[in-house]
Structure 1
Amino acid sequence: MGNLRARANRYNFLVAFFVALGSFTYGFNSAIIGSVIGLPSFYAYFDFEATSSYGGNIIGASNGLYAGAGAIGCWTVFWLLDLLGRKRSIQIICLVCIVSAAIQAGSAHIAMFLVGRFFNGLGVGFINTAIPTYISEISPPAQRGRLVGSHGFVICVSYGFSGWCGFAIYYENDPTIQWRLLLALQIVAPLLLLLGSPFIPESPRWLIQNGRTEKGLTVLEKLHANADDPEHIGAREECLQIRRQIELEKSQKSPNIIQLVFSRKYRKRMFFGFYLQAMCQSTGVLVIANYMVLELNNLGLSGSTPLLLLAVYNTWAACLNYVNALLIDRIGRIRIVTIGITGCMVCLILVTALNAHYGNAGNPNKAGQALAITFMFLFVSFYGFGIDVSSYVYCSEIFPTHIRAKGVGWSVSGLFLMTTVYTTAAGPAFNHIGWKYYLVFIIVTCLMLPYVVLKFPETKGLSLEEVGALFGDEVALDVSHLSGDQQRELDAEILAQHDMAFLREDKPGLHSAKTEVSGPDYSNSDTEHVEQIVEDSSHGQGHGVTEVK
């Protein structure tokens, strides 16, 4: 039933939502290009036409460089996160995002713009790994879905905000200021995060992993303090569980990404994380968002109307992301993703069919064009409700502490790699084959979904340390599946240890997975009980731990 005392307090929520300024950075920087390429002044300054072959290649290169650099960022940021810690790494990443945004806003030549876009992609690749990693490590099991879900929610909020900025800037009289101001706004969120970062705590799991156990416990007590637990037993149990799991894993070498991909112990998790992110991007969600203004032009809309609809589209997506964050801990990760993907594909099939018949600005059938736009909105409704939040939550949960930064980085690189492929090809594809490009997303996603439904285990309700049991790991202390009597004995044992004695390495008892304790052996005493709690892990029923075969 889980450790109900370890619950997030206001401070925990405040920290999570503040660092989500990094999520805002990723979302805003990714979305703003959709508004920029909807401004005639952008094409006029750099002297090319959006509908020309050269224009399609430039737009494709802009998106491709950004996404490709993002993948590189995901593959390289882990060493920074592990070496310097989550907090210091976030500060450095903010500087990268600020400088690269300034380069774009000050571009005097299209090559300068593309260079800035590349380094900005590198920065958001860093930050799109660092933020969910950090939030997952400060969150208690019962509310981890909602807290990590703030990452996906804020991404969509930033998409909506970028849309409204694009709509507002359309009415600026100076054409040069239009696109430069939009690109300069990319500086705001990382600057705020950088200025406020000295006041956020370091990840308690990183602190404990690096031998700073007392500091880690202090952070946990501050993050998860509540009136029902004045002795901080919940935080102490959590600290004990983290410490014992890290001690259990200390004998294992820290592998690099290539070793993880081919490791028998971790390759399944690496594959699941990458596969899930790749499938989510294979829905075509970023292609639709980035090229929506141009697609709406094809459906007969012009002027500021496409920019207005883009703003509404992204704002609506943010609302559904919030619903996703609220429901994910109840419905389960895999079930809600399945609902979202299925709904997206039904809507995209209808969008494709309607575009085939009415996707021409000269077509007189306004009702058909309006219906196509309606199903585009329904598409993002399902994506926001079931996918955006869930994909980040799941990928941040399935890796143990000592490889989490590498695992999350590898997983999110699946997002950027697929985005690179799809967005780079999108410009030329829409110019040459039009609506037929949507068929790629429909076919690929429909082929990928069944594997997720059948093979991916549910992680709802488990601590980060206990998730490892789903993949065959030994769990040093399984708090979630202790019986009531065992839970009370563990509480009493922790409460009986004064100060930090129960965590010190020279103290016999609860600190070590291999040391006997007075009372039951919490590392394996409940094994038979756990094995009897079998759930349908593909559908998120119950809270038992079933190893993935």
Structure 2
Amino acid sequence: MTRFTPYNTFICVIVALGSYGYGFGFGVFVSSVGQPGFFMDLGLDQTSDYTARVMGATFSLFAFGAALGGITQGWTADWIGRKKTLAFAGITSTVGAALVAGSVNVAMLVTTRILHGFGLGMILCLVPLYTTEIAPPKTRGIFSGMTVIGYGMGYLMVAWISVATYYATNQTLQWRLPLALAAVGPLGMLVGLPFIPESPRYLCWIDRYEEAHQILQRLHRDPDDPGNSLAEAEFIQIKQQVQFDRQEKAGYVQMFKKPSWRKRSILVMFLLFASQSTGVTGISNYLVPILTNLGFEGGFPLIIYAIYSTVGTFFVFVVTFTVDRVGRRRMFLCCYPLLAVVLLIEGLLQRQYLGTSNRAGNIACVVMMNIYIMVFQLADSPTIIWASEVLPTTIRAKGIGLAIFSMMSGFITFSAPGGLAFKNLQWGMFLIFAGLCVISAIIIYIWASSPSRHKFLLASCTAIPETKGLPVEEIGDLFGDPVVVHLTQDEHGIVAEKADVPSVEHTEVVMEASKA
């Protein structure tokens, strides 16, 4: 089995800096609205409806930019390659972060957040795309999980940095410094990009087989396998499957014409939208004002937000290092009903204690919100891993782009009205999110149980297969696509038949007649 080597670890760290930049860039505005200097410098009244609309617009336009970035990388990642697109995204998000930090008025802040979001939206797609395409089958969850670890660490760092800057005597520094530091992650990724390889699957797609072979040899080197037969077998499988898959047109329209591709495209879009319907965006974006309404004053809302981010990031690590054993399907299918229960309890607690001086009741609300983020990460973290691995190489970039577009559509849906909604409905918003979790759970577990009646939804329990441990090229078999070559059970050989595949000697590469 391929182990983590210093080289693999280095690659994961470099690309995770990109997703760190997304987490930091997303979270930085959440914490900025908790800084007194932010409102003073921009001439905003914290209690006005206008300010609530400005906050909603700023969050939503960031998501709009990210959605456009996700769709755009679907073309550029296939046109110029994964690495060059990562470089373009890194430059765009760095420039965007600098412009946001230097904003002199509300109009500049709102518009530059679109550019910042565009670059970070590309990165959010490209990191799981890239890590999926370089990972060995048995540890792909850890490799792809670096995406969620990266942006979890971004949330964590910006939360605690904002706690520190809250106590700065310079009120402009309070909010501008964290915004400027949003450029650090993309810059770090840009510095490291020349030292990491292009995706071997992309190289096979553009007929650069020798280069792809050399990269796989280095990526999947196993000290216990002198012949490096895993890399040899995987190279043959990737080469032949990509050659077969690219016979199909690979545009956005074709993704919804071919039944097996349509099924996967709808599933990844549904799961990423459903993750936003849990309320995570609205709750996280407006957590500081929510905590203020619960009676926490001064720097305490920022400290509680930082603890909330720490708890969430810890459970991202838990998911990343267990998902290859527990499985993706079980983790995100089991948690939607539990999320509904947690949100219901939170709403009822806030109904009872919001606006009161009952310290124990207000603390109970905070504890329940931390339980909420624990359960959310167990449900959500595997979705980006699953979404990035279920589509074939020829449409993977576009599929992840659609997934992130859907996620950002959910972001806008629940963020644009969020400022006014939390201001007016308060605890009632938690009941709305609980109801949406129930609807998502029903769709996942029950709806489309008869595919002939609901063929365009395809979100039943049976429609979301387990993918842990499977080579990326063999996942298509779960959706009815032909698989040209299968790896043996020990992954060191290849055969054309799937049933009861025998193991072979580690130094052998066995290939039977292909049915393709």
Q: TM-score, normalised by structure 2?
A: 0.92
Partner of 1:376: 369
| Contact 2:32 2:175 (8 Å CA) reproduced | yes
Aligned partner (choices 18, 21, 41) of residue 17 of structure 2:
21
| CA–CA distance in structure 2, aligned partners of residues 159 and 480 of structure 1 | 41
| CA–CA distance in structure 1, aligned partners of residues 508 and 127 of structure 2 | 36
Runs of 4+ in 1 over 6 A off after TM superposition: none
Partner of 1:96: 92
Quote the RMSD (CA, aligned, Å).
1.7
1:303 aligns with 2:295: no
Aligned partner (choices 156, 160, 170) of residue 156 of structure 2:
160
| Contact 1:225 1:235 (8 Å CA) reproduced | yes
| Contact 2:488 2:503 (8 Å CA) reproduced | no
Distance 1:490 1:325, change over 3 A: closer
| CA–CA distance in structure 1, aligned partners of residues 43 and 313 of structure 2 | 35
Partner of 2:420: 428
How many residues align? The count is: 492
| Contact 2:337 2:437 (8 Å CA) reproduced | no
Per-residue CA distance 1:21-74 (angstroms, 9 max, x = gap): 111011111111111000111111111112201000000000010111111111
What does 1:464-503 correspond to in 2, within 5 Å? 464-480=472-488, 486-488=502-504, 492-493=508-509
| Contact 1:334 1:452 (8 Å CA) reproduced | no
| Contact 2:63 2:411 (8 Å CA) reproduced | yes
Distance 1:462 1:441, change over 3 A: same
Partner of 2:436: 444
Amino acid at match of 1:273: V
| Contact 2:91 2:186 (8 Å CA) reproduced | yes
Amino acid at match of 1:165: I
What does 1:413-424 correspond to in 2, within 5 Å? 413-424=405-416
SS of aligned partner of 1:231: coil
| CA–CA distance in structure 2, aligned partners of residues 51 and 60 of structure 1 | 14
Q: CA deviation at 1:288?
A: 1.2
Q: CA deviation at 1:200?
A: 0.6
| Contact 1:154 1:318 (8 Å CA) reproduced | no
Report % sequence identity.
33
Amino acid at match of 1:188: V
| CA–CA distance in structure 2, aligned partners of residues 182 and 272 of structure 1 | 36
What does 1:395-406 correspond to in 2, within 5 Å? 395-406=387-398
Aligned partner (choices 253, 266, 270) of residue 271 of structure 1:
266
| Contact 1:104 1:117 (8 Å CA) reproduced | yes
Amino acid at match of 2:317: Y
Partner of 1:114: 110
Per-residue CA distance 1:472-498 (angstroms, 9 max, x = gap): 00001111555787442896346xxxx
| CA–CA distance in structure 2, aligned partners of residues 451 and 140 of structure 1 | 32
Partner of 2:247: 251
Partner of 2:449: none
What does 1:125-140 correspond to in 2, within 5 Å? 125-140=121-136
| CA–CA distance in structure 2, aligned partners of residues 83 and 347 of structure 1 | 45
| CA–CA distance in structure 2, aligned partners of residues 345 and 132 of structure 1 | 28
Per-residue CA distance 1:436-486 (angstroms, 9 max, x = gap): 122222112211123334231111111100000011000011115557874
| Contact 1:51 1:431 (8 Å CA) reproduced | no
Q: Which moved more, 1:462-471 or 1:15-24?
A: 15-24
| Contact 2:340 2:435 (8 Å CA) reproduced | no
Partner of 2:359: 366
| CA–CA distance in structure 1, aligned partners of residues 257 and 54 of structure 2 | 37
| Contact 1:351 1:372 (8 Å CA) reproduced | yes
Per-residue CA distance 1:235-288 (angstroms, 9 max, x = gap): 010000001101212321222x23313432311000000011111111111221
Partner of 2:208: 212
Per-residue CA distance 1:392-427 (angstroms, 9 max, x = gap): 100001100010000011111111110011111100
| CA–CA distance in structure 2, aligned partners of residues 485 and 316 of structure 1 | 43
Per-residue CA distance 1:67-87 (angstroms, 9 max, x = gap): 111111111111111111111
SS of aligned partner of 1:364: coil
SS of aligned partner of 1:265: helix
User: What stretches of structure 1 of length at least 5 have no aligned partner?
Assistant: 495-509, 511-519, 525-549
Partner of 1:55: 51
| CA–CA distance in structure 2, aligned partners of residues 485 and 319 of structure 1 | 39
Amino acid at match of 1:344: L
| Contact 1:152 1:388 (8 Å CA) reproduced | no
Q: TM-score, normalised by structure 1?
A: 0.87
Partner of 1:315: 310
Amino acid at match of 2:199: S
| Contact 1:8 1:139 (8 Å CA) reproduced | no
| CA–CA distance in structure 2, aligned partners of residues 334 and 480 of structure 1 | 24
| CA–CA distance in structure 2, aligned partners of residues 162 and 477 of structure 1 | 46
| CA–CA distance in structure 1, aligned partners of residues 443 and 329 of structure 2 | 11
Partner of 2:283: 288
| CA–CA distance in structure 2, aligned partners of residues 13 and 489 of structure 1 | 28
Q: CA deviation at 1:351?
A: 0.7
Q: CA deviation at 1:139?
A: 0.3
